A and B are shown apart, each in its own frame.
Chain A
Amino acid sequence: MSSSELSTKHILGIKYLTKEDINLIFETADNFKEVINRPIKKVPSLRDVTVANLFFENSTRTRISFELAEKRLSADVVNFSASSSSVKKGETLLDTVNNILSMKVDMVVMRHPAPGAHAFLARHIDANIINAGDGTHEHPTQALLDAFSIREQLGDLSGKKIAIFGDILHSRVAMSNIFCLQKLGAKVRVCGPPTLIPKHIPQLGVEVSYDVKDTLEWCDVANILRIQLERQDIKYIPTLREYSKYYGIDKKLLDSLDSEVIIMHPGPINRGVEISSDVADSKQSIILQQVENGVAVRMAVLFLLAAKRST
């Protein structure tokens, strides 16, 4: 049984959610998934609620996914994009956001390159805040939609084996996934080059492997992350060619396994680097379902926070 209300005012990270919160979001997302497959996809739940999408870092799919979710809930939406360079020019995050809030915004969806930027903001402003990615810290709605997609395929996640491949060190998706999957009772393993795996990650109760084939044999689901070259300030791997050769996943490798593994990827894909095209487009892949579920899950999150707001 899940409760009918979230335990928090903000979605700053999966870390700060309870298992009940996550299940409530999933049940709500089930309903919205049905809604967005109707001919008329719009519901009035967020009428008179103004949502600001503040993206201090580039994003295409997350921004569009949030915007769609907001519009299908009939919210008023404003978009703000700033590259980190224009922020460097002088105006602080607090100034920018205070300016926007002076225009009476109820909810803020923010992506920001600094870990904890949302926690900083939450101490200063009154609106509900949804973290759409803060540096290498968390990306909670991505983890929710990933777990929601796995749940759709495998049912209850308890005891399921999920492997996360790639650049764990620079990945907020990896961190949020680990927290989310563990809260739901799944077993998590990370796999990638040793330079891209945080030394202390086993302390989170996560298994570590450097062997892609062995990990694919172990897991039910393979969540393959993008190599984030833009987050690497120094060289952690020699070349993409070598990465692809030893850590990339292709059809031949998948076919050599005894069982069929579900393939996920949070996008955008570097085809031919971490994942080959024939894997990305195979029937094992649920990459496009993830995108669809993203809208439903984000609608659920927005809806539940707005409900909390009105109580």
Chain B
Amino acid sequence: MLLVKNVHIIEPTSKYHGKKVDLLIKKGKIDRIKARIQSDKYNVYDAKGACMSIGWMDIGVQVGDPGLEHREDLESVAKAAMAGGFTAIACYPNTNPSIHSKSEVLYIKNNTSDSLVRFYPIGAASRNCKGEEMTEIYDMHESGAVAFSDGTKSIQNSGLMMRTLQYVKAFGGLVMNHPHDKQVGNSGQMHEGLTSVNLGMKGIPSLAEELMTQRDIYLAEYTESKLHVLNISTARATNLIKQAKSKGIQVTTSVPAINLALDDSLVESFQARYKVLPPLREKSDIKALKRGLKNGTIDCITSNHIPWDGDAKNLEYSRAEFGSIGLETVFAICNTHLKSVLSLEALIEKLSRNPREILGIPVPKIEEGAIANLTLFDPLEEWTFTKEAIYSKSKNTPFIGTTFTGKVLGLINQKQSWFRS
């Protein structure tokens, strides 16, 4: 039994919202919530007025197991998720082999069943995420895959995308696609703009994202199926989704946290830690993305967590791989950079309720008798992110040395708890 004292509840659907209370956790459930609970017979954690919400969820995580364990294994990604406040993650199918059949879906689920963090595998839409042959989607769905996508790979073939959207309708499934037209993107290394011209670097035009966003919206409209436009980064893609939503098309979208904080001018240093996909765009895009978060166009924020070992990143920029780790900094980035954009309640909604609703997963509650699935955080604490403190196996992030406001303190889920020491 665990008694968490002095927490400030942030959960608009709970009658305790905005109140300062003590919570008693018993057998993985919230046993009691009261202004004050007697403490002598329980393990006590004094939160000293920190905030507590339902547990957060990230729908944009690459795990390295199976096949890429040197970059991230299931245990290390769980630790990184915990440090980031996430009690649930949906993981990309881009492993080796890909999560492209029932076996891999069950592999992930069975190997993480005793973890504090719930893993929700995203099934590959195509074999080996190659964008060619359709996978056994129904079977993966029955085994627990929560959505279908080629993850970090965009589905280039419009016919395959259309048929995938059609096929998942049999069980009301969701297709996620990161919009990136490869032919237009043409082996680009960074956002196409003034900076890319200056650096002689092949650019990825915003158009590469916008064309595919529009294509996918048309396909979702045609098939009357559910689409999630995964990890957008441009102003116009935001607008296209806004229009699609207003037309009643079943589309949702997400943005990686890093794309809300950093812009393409940073690449001028030729440092590969700024090499991510979608690429860092312009300041005007960041502004539009923030507007999209505020007006509800953008439903949730991902870490777009792509772990790489040092050798894949400590290279000439154009030879380095795309991606950065992100699980441990999502909240810190958002809380620091979205202060004037989202209220704390609205931010937490995009990190907890919305991702689950997109995937059709039950949303935890804060009430007596509910399963304890909770995240504890302090939105005011200032702290500096250091390399030594990273839980992920990989250290590829541009935020080492950055000072943030807002820190995750701990979480409770699956009859377990973890508190930052």
Contacts and interface: CB of A to CB of B under 8 A. Distances in A.
Interface of A: 15, 92-94, 112, 114-117, 119-120, 134-138, 172, 175, 198-201, 203-204, 233-234
Contacts of A204: 194, 197-198
B197 A119 contact: no
B163 interface: no
Interface residues of B, number: 24
Nearest to A117: B316
A116 B197 CA distance: 13
A114 B316 contact: yes
Q: Residue among B194, B196, B200, B314 with the most chain A CB within 10 A? A: B200
Interface in B318-337: 318-319
B200 A93 contact: no
* Nearest 7 interchain pairs by C-beta: A116-B270, A137-B200, A114-B316, A136-B200, A119-B270, A117-B316, A114-B318
Nearest to A199: B192
Contacts of A112: 316
A15 B203 CA distance: 19
A116 B199 contact: yes
Interface of B: 186-187, 189, 192-194, 196-203, 205, 269-270, 311, 314-319
A272 to B, nearest CB: 28
Contacts of B200: 115, 134-138, 172, 175
A117 B201 CA distance: 12
A94 B311 CA distance: 11
B196 A200 contact: yes
B318 A115 contact: yes
A137 B186 contact: no
A203 B194 contact: yes
Given A15-B198, A175-B200, A116 B205 contact: no
A200 B193 contact: yes
Contacts, number: 67
A200 B317 contact: no
A201 B194 CA distance: 7
Contacts of A175: 197-198, 200
B104 to A, nearest CB: 31
24 contacts: A15-B198, A92-B311, A92-B315, A93-B316, A94-B314, A116-B199, A116-B270, A116-B317, A116-B318, A117-B316, A119-B269, A134-B200, A135-B318, A136-B200, A136-B201, A136-B202, A175-B197, A175-B198, A175-B200, A198-B197, A199-B205, A200-B192, A200-B196, A203-B194
A234 to B, nearest CB: 7
Given A92-B315, A115-B317, A120 B197 contact: no
A92 to B, nearest CB: 6
Contacts of B201: 115-116, 136-137
Contacts of B319: 114
Contacts of A134: 200
A120 B192 contact: no
A79 B72 CA distance: 41
A25 to B, nearest CB: 21
A99 B192 CA distance: 36
A160 B203 CA distance: 31
A200 B195 CA distance: 9
A117 B314 CA distance: 11
Contacts of A114: 316-319
Given A114-B317, A116-B317, A137-B200, 4 more contacts: A138-B200, A200-B194, A233-B186, A234-B186
Contacts of A120: 270, 315-317
A182 to B, nearest CB: 12
A117 B203 CA distance: 17
A115 B199 contact: yes
Nearest to A112: B316
B315 to A, nearest CB: 6
B284 to A, nearest CB: 14
Nearest to A12: B270
Contacts of B196: 198, 200
A175 B318 CA distance: 18
Nearest to A118: B270
Contacts of B311: 92
B160 to A, nearest CB: 23
A198 B270 CA distance: 19
Contacts of A233: 186-187
A204 B196 CA distance: 11
A156 B314 CA distance: 43
Given A116-B318, A120-B316, A233-B187, A203 B202 contact: no
Contacts of A137: 199-201
B382 to A, nearest CB: 29
A136 B196 CA distance: 11
